[in-house]
């Protein structure tokens, strides 16, 4: 039987045009996660979406958008995710933030997260 490691999946829903300190917000968050030694982060770009304002963002040719939806997924222990949220609080503004408890089945060559 395989051992599973409990972890937390943080999802940040932002727009492509969101920025922080003159840089894209997604870049600032991923670089902060890396600086804190977080296990991993991925930025996903969505072809269509809307948020609190209900304004549709899409890649369709008749409605070009320079603010496509982005999802940043970050996985690590609860303590490290909590630290990242504290360190990035000023950056996040009104974005949607979700947390899920997940089980890490495989992470690189090691069985779990450090």
33 vs 93: CA distance, rounded Å: 17
pLDDT band at residue 25, thresholds of 50, 70 and 90?
very high
pLDDT band at residue 1, thresholds of 50, 70 and 90?
very low
Q: In this predicted structure, what is the pLDDT of residue 65?
A: 58
110 vs 97: CA distance, rounded Å: 28
Alpha-carbon torsion (98, 5, 2, 73), positive or negative: positive
Q: In this predicted structure, what is the pLDDT of residue 67?
A: 76
Q: What would the pLDDT profile of 55-79 be if each residue is shown by its tens digit? A: 666 666 555 556 789 999 999 999 9
The answer to whether residue 76 is domain-embedded is yes
Q: In this predicted structure, what is the pLDDT of residue 64?
A: 56
Three-class DSSP labels, 47-97: CEECCCCCCCEECCCCCCCCCCEEEEEEEECHHHHHHHHHHHHHHHCCCEE
pLDDT band at residue 29, thresholds of 50, 70 and 90?
very high
User: Domain tally for the chain?
Assistant: 1
The answer to whether residue 31 is domain-embedded is yes
The answer to whether residue 109 is domain-embedded is no
The answer to whether residue 71 is domain-embedded is yes
Rg (CA), the chain: 16
The answer to whether residue 55 is domain-embedded is yes
The answer to whether residue 113 is domain-embedded is no
Q: In this predicted structure, what is the pLDDT of residue 8?
A: 97
Residue 52 belongs to a domain with what CATH number? 3.30.70.120
Q: Which domain holds residue 83?
A: 5-104
């Amino acid at each position: 039987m395989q051992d599973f490691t409990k972890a937390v999946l943080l999802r940040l829903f932002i727009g492509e045009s969101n920025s922080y300190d003159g840089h894209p917000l997604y870049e600032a968050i991923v670089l902060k996660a890396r600086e804190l030694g977080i296990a991993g982060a991925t930025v996903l770009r969505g072809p269509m979406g809307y948020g609190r304002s209900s304004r549709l963002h899409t890649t369709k040719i008749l409605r070009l958008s320079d603010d496509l939806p982005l999802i940043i997924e970050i996985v690590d222990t609860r303590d490290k995710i909590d630290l990242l949220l504290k360190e990035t609080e000023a950056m996040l503004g009104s974005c949607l933030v979700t947390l899920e408890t997940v089980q890490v089945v495989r992470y690189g060559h090691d069985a779990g997260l450090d």
